[in-house]
Amino acid sequence: MNADNDTRSGDPEADQAFVDSGPPASDASESTSEKPFPLATCVRWMVLGEKTIAALFLLVIVSTMAAQVFARYVFNSPFQWSEEVARFALIWLTFISAAFVMAERRHIAVDVISSRIGDSGKLFIECMSYVVVATTCLLLLIGGVSFVWYVGKVGSPALGVPKSWWYGAGMVGLLLMAVHSLVNLLQVWMTGKPIPRETHVEEAAFQLKMEPGE
C-alpha cells in the first residue's frame, strides 16, 4: 500500500508529462472542423441518384421474380417475359452500382505500394489511379458506342426491346465511373490531400486467424 502511494506521488514532472501527452486542444478542434472537399455536395447528390435508380431496379427484379413464382405455382401459367425483365434490370443494376461504388472508393483493391511510401507518394499514386480508371473507361466507351448502335436493330425475344438498351447499360456505367474518377481527381488536385475512405466494415473482420500448427 505504501509502495503504491510512493509510485503515484514520487515524480510530479512525470505525472504532468503523462497528463500533457494527449493531443492538443487546438489540433482536436482543427481535426473536427475540417472543411469539406470541393464538389462534395455535387458528388453526394449524384451518388444518391444512382443509389435510388439501383434500388428501383432491385425492386423490379424482386417483384418480377415473385410474380413469376406466384403465377407458375398458383395459376400454373408462368409469364413469358419475367426472366427477360429481371435480366434487363440486373444488367442496369450492376453498372449503376459500379458507378456509386467507384465514387465511394469501395471497389476491391490490393494495397501493396502506397502503404510503404510517404504522403506525397500516396497522393501521386491516387491521382494516377484516377487517371488510369478514367482513361480506360473513356476508351471502352468510345469503342463500344458503335457496337451499341449496331445492335440497336435487333430486338429481344420476349419484349422486343432493342439490344442497344441492354448493352447501353455498360456505356452508361462506364461514363459515370469516368465522371466520378475525374471529379475525385479534381478534388485531390485542389486540396492536395487524398480523399478519406469510408469505413463500412471494420478491418478486423477480414483478419484470418491461423491455427498454431498451420
119-147 pLDDT, tens digit each:
777 788 888 888 998 999 999 998 888 88
Query: Dihedral, CA atoms, 127, 128, 132, 133, nearest 10 degrees?
Result: -30
Q: Which residues are paired to 155 by β-bridges?
A: 162
Arithmetic mean of pLDDT over the chain: 75
Q: Which residues contact 54 (CB under 8 A, 6 or more apart)?
A: 93, 96, 97, 100
Global confidence as pTM:
0.67
- Confidence bin at 83 (pLDDT 50/70/90): confident
- Among 76-85, 96-105, 196-205, the least confident range: 196-205
Give the per-residue pLDDT at 26: 42
Per-position DSSP letters for 8-19, written without gaps between them: HHS-HHHHHHHH
**Residue ranges of domains in the chain:** 36-196
